[in-house]
Structure 1
Amino acid sequence: MIDRRPPLSSLCDFAPWAPVLRLLLAGYPEIRPDGSARVAGRIGRHGWSLALRGGMSSGRPPAVKHVQRALARGRVEEVAFSAEIMPTGRTTLRLVWPCPAVEAPDGYPDLGVLVLVDGAVPEPWRRLPDPVPGAVPAPSADLELLERTLRERIPDAVGATEEEIAAAEARLGVTLPDELKVFYRVTRVHGEDRGDFHELVRVSEAVGYEVYALEHLESVDPGARHSRWRFGATDAIVTPPDAAVQGLAGSSGWIVFGSNGGDEIAVDLTPGPGGHLGQVILVDHEQSLGAELVADSFTDMVLGRERRQPLARHNDLPAVAEVGGGDLPDVRAAAHAALEVLSLRAGDGAPFGLAPVIGLPRLRTLTADPGTLADPLEVAELAGLDFLELGPQEWRVLLDAGAVPRSLSAAVVRERGQDRATVVAVANELLALWDRPRIDETVLEGDLFPEA
């Protein structure tokens, strides 16, 4: 779509962009055999991604500031652009405006991820906990010792009523573990919201963490931790047979009761095969998947008997595999029932056939460098694909054959080294298949080196 209701008229002119293009031309342009150059970038109100000599360390150029001020005036978050510059200076500039169906990439000038299903998140963030019918509290869970210790440490605390505890359980939709009930029977943990900051401090010191009032208990929502599609689609997490904590983004059974000042502390009602019901876990705010075991029981935590077990991440074989480019020699070497993410890289052995991975039950992500697929139509036989990244030529084969997998939630048209106009056209065809908003593009012509 070209020149359809451009959202920012002050930048729909070649002149404000010429200084930016000259900077890029002096940086690291892509030079074509005919002597023409291609440059691309992305400028947002609060950041920019440009291949400049000196990089970010050279500071924000005045030309970038000018564009950012114009974006701010127009209340536009960012614009991606590419330009084809002929040796004479004659230039075709393409501006791609923000689209609600496109997740803009962090740090890349690429078009971004096409979110085909509104609100969709990568599969690991949709994964539910496995049932744990045999899970029991740890042998170290001692209700009498826990209550006695707490009353000794906070003798004047006022506990919650059974009705208040039952109300919290009804709100959360779970039965709280007995140890956590003992804790709240000793103290309601009224703090700043009730004007008693000193009580909050005393209770937190007694437990070892900053703790929350009963009415502030909440479960860990996987959606609140989800990663951007560009990274999340190629992320994987597993639950090893001896893992104390299940490999999840979140669970209705992870009940957050406190914090260490940054990370959340929770009791776990959906433990892993090597864990215990009501164990204490840490949900790291810098991680978007998994949790770490802190203690086998609430009693252990209060008594300082912590037992750490790192979160179970598994971003390598057999769940994640890269073929070509110096990694695995062929697709057969990646084929495994646990394979979730397959990446094909240009290099020795390409192009590759997909026959060895057709029918694998967990394969959800395929990313393939342009030219690495021997037969793009084999992609249609990967029935469970959730995310697909291909070059525009490979997408064209699938589109023309009506073979784009309808199981997809998100997709990428690989842009690096490709023509922006072709990329946008293919992307809009994909968005149309899911009846999603299309990408608006503005095309400008100008002379980068006008005569004096």
Structure 2
Amino acid sequence: MNEPASLPSVPPLHSFDTWAPLLREWAAGSEAQDEDGTVHLSGAVGRDAWSSRSRPRGRASAAEREAVERVRDALEGAGVESVTFSARVTPSGRTRLRVRGPSPAVESGPAGGGALLLVEGAVPEPWRRLPASAPAAHPARSADPVALERRLRARLPGAIGAGDEEIAATEARLGLRLPDELRALYRVVRWRREDAHGDDRAGVYDTVGCELFPLDDVYVADSASRPAPWRFAACEAAVTPPDAAVQGLVGSPGWIVFGDNGGGDRLAVDLTPGPAGHTGQIVLLSHESFLGAELIADSLTDLVRRVKPRGRRRSGSRRRSEGPAVAHVNVAHLRGVEAAAHPELEVLCIGVWDDAPVDLTPVVGLPRLRTLTAYPGTLADPRQIGRLGLEYLDIGPAEWRALLDAKAVPRSLAAAGITTHGLRDHGRLGDLSNEILALWGRPPIVRTVLVGELSPGPHA
């Protein structure tokens, strides 16, 4: 009787042998060395990404990729999304490895660690922002469901349309009635996958101007549909100028997504337009942005009539929020906090600075200030932060230490970050993180220390 083949064993996450091949690869040629040749390594490994601030430059070798996969297998076996690590490798190969995480109080996401989550379930203010009402908004003159349906039937004579029951089921799932133009579109072409034949897909794209979603895939692009890490999301501001056609939101219960431009950007019917927009206009939600949308047609009829919408061009890099709501104080932008102080200021980011440390007095008492990020060493008196009603704070270890010792940490915080910029002592960083988490009664970050001998690999 044949024995069943044994399954390959999953390497244990908290075993030195699991990490040794990766540490060996990254230690070889590392520039992060002391005078005696001791190498310092730090970084993160996640199921979808990995990073190291001290690995040798250049493309990853086959051996390095294999070593990363070994750790990833261990993550998957342990049911863990990502961990951060630091290691000290002596010239003899004696190695002390610290593995941090996971923790329900640390934001999961891309390798490299995330924010400390001080209030469970909290999201940044732009993700809580609902659209403003626009009682004067109305459909554009170009909107014509009857003409739209007639044009679509002429262009797509063999298309299979959705019945009333299918449309009603979608409306029940979404909890809203589809606008008349979108109903007209799906009455002509429901675009189920089993309906596709030959060049039908190209025909629908050329007629509608996008890759049409089946009714089952139509969704509402609310803020939850565009998640973002706290360290990025907290630095955004949802601002809608008075002449804007589209509201500057993360998401809206009135953005009904029905297609894709072929590059990952979503097309939606907008039922919550900006002050200068029209109900039922077509907007593009860029996959490169967390916030806002671009107007591409005044109506679905207009989109189909023009066939090649403005939004089919590829969008550029993610637009950074600008104006009085978001201020960047650094060597390349504003040259002082005084210039940033404004009643509408929500986000203050203090970056690379070659002058005397800045005084936060000009922004104390501003009613909307909710986010402060500051590079280590840029603040004259970190204790001033205690006078700010912040929901997110990202500062260096020394600044956090000053706040903690003065018992001045703002209790309004919902999340926090620690900017390290080359800090080697990750044990101290873990202690600091857990001290902050303890103020809110949050679970501490679990740290495991592994010690072993990092013998030279075959390549040495």
How far 1:429 moved relative to its partner?
1.8
1:26 and 2:32 are equivalent in the alignment: no
* DSSP-derived class of the 2:401 partner: helix
* Greater Cα shift, 155-164 or 216-225: 155-164
* DSSP-derived class of the 1:280 partner: strand
- CA deviation vs aligned residue, 1:339-364 (integer Å, no higher than 9, x gap): 33212235322321111112223322
Any residues of structure 2 matched to 1:26-425 within 5 Å, and which? Answer: 26-29=29-32, 31=34, 38-44=40-46, 47-50=49-52, 51-61=54-64, 64=68, 67-68=71-72, 70-71=74-75, 74-84=78-88, 92-104=96-108, 106=110, 108=112, 111-153=113-155, 169=171, 171-183=173-185, 187=187, 189-192=189-192, 195-197=194-196, 206-212=207-213, 217-261=218-262, 262-304=264-306, 308=310, 313-383=319-389, 385-418=390-423, 419-425=425-431
How far 1:249 moved relative to its partner?
1.7
CA distance in 2, matches of 1:216, 1:89: 54
Q: 1:5 maps to which residue?
A: none
How far 1:63 moved relative to its partner?
5.3
Please list every run of 5 or more consecutive structure 2 residues that lacks an aligned counterpart in the other structure. 1-10
CA distance in 2, matches of 1:350, 1:327: 16
**Does the 8 A contact of 2:153 with 2:188 survive in 1?**
no
**Does the 8 A contact of 2:48 with 2:110 survive in 1?**
no
CA distance in 1, matches of 2:417, 2:400: 10
CA distance in 1, matches of 2:166, 2:77: 51
CA distance in 1, matches of 2:123, 2:342: 24
CA distance in 2, matches of 1:155, 1:16: 61
**Does the 8 A contact of 1:295 with 1:305 survive in 2?**
no
Amino acid in the other structure paired with 1:296: D
CA distance in 1, matches of 2:145, 2:44: 58
How far 1:393 moved relative to its partner?
2.3
- CA deviation vs aligned residue, 1:361-388 (integer Å, no higher than 9, x gap): 33222111222222222112211x2211
* Greater Cα shift, 61-70 or 40-49: 61-70
Structure 1 residues 31 and 344, CA, compared in 2 at 3 Å: closer, same or farther?
farther
* DSSP-derived class of the 2:59 partner: helix
**Does the 8 A contact of 2:250 with 2:291 survive in 1?**
yes
How far 1:65 moved relative to its partner?
5.5
How far 1:324 moved relative to its partner?
3.4
**Does the 8 A contact of 1:25 with 1:39 survive in 2?**
no
* DSSP-derived class of the 1:125 partner: helix
**Does the 8 A contact of 2:13 with 2:74 survive in 1?**
yes
Q: 1:3 maps to which residue?
A: none
* DSSP-derived class of the 1:406 partner: coil
Amino acid in the other structure paired with 1:367: T
How far 1:428 moved relative to its partner?
0.9
**Does the 8 A contact of 2:105 with 2:116 survive in 1?**
yes
**Does the 8 A contact of 1:293 with 1:307 survive in 2?**
no
Structure 1 residues 244 and 428, CA, compared in 2 at 3 Å: closer, same or farther?
same
Structure 1 residues 25 and 364, CA, compared in 2 at 3 Å: closer, same or farther?
farther
**Does the 8 A contact of 2:393 with 2:415 survive in 1?**
yes
Structure 1 residues 103 and 30, CA, compared in 2 at 3 Å: closer, same or farther?
farther
Amino acid in the other structure paired with 1:282: L
- Match among 428, 432, 437 for residue 431 of structure 1: 437
**How many positions carry a matched residue from both structures?**
437
* DSSP-derived class of the 1:102 partner: coil
CA distance in 2, matches of 1:357, 1:12: 49
Amino acid in the other structure paired with 2:443: P
Amino acid in the other structure paired with 1:232: A
CA distance in 2, matches of 1:153, 1:144: 15
How far 1:414 moved relative to its partner?
2.3
* DSSP-derived class of the 1:251 partner: coil
Amino acid in the other structure paired with 1:392: P
**Does the 8 A contact of 2:237 with 2:325 survive in 1?**
yes
How far 1:82 moved relative to its partner?
1.6
CA distance in 2, matches of 1:207, 1:319: 38
CA distance in 1, matches of 2:48, 2:152: 49
How far 1:296 moved relative to its partner?
0.7
Amino acid in the other structure paired with 2:293: A
CA distance in 1, matches of 2:295, 2:159: 28
CA distance in 2, matches of 1:277, 1:315: 25
CA distance in 2, matches of 1:10, 1:296: 54
* Greater Cα shift, 175-184 or 343-352: 175-184
Structure 1 residues 72 and 182, CA, compared in 2 at 3 Å: closer, same or farther?
closer
Amino acid in the other structure paired with 1:439: I
* Greater Cα shift, 244-253 or 414-423: 414-423
* DSSP-derived class of the 1:393 partner: helix
Please list every run of 5 or more consecutive structure 1 residues that lacks an aligned counterpart in the other structure. 1-7
CA distance in 2, matches of 1:164, 1:340: 44
Structure 1 residues 155 and 102, CA, compared in 2 at 3 Å: closer, same or farther?
same
Instruction: Give the % identical residues.
Output: 50
Normalised TM-score (structure 1): 0.81
Amino acid in the other structure paired with 1:407: S
How far 1:295 moved relative to its partner?
0.8
Q: How well do the aligned residues superpose, as a CA RMSD in angstroms?
A: 3.8
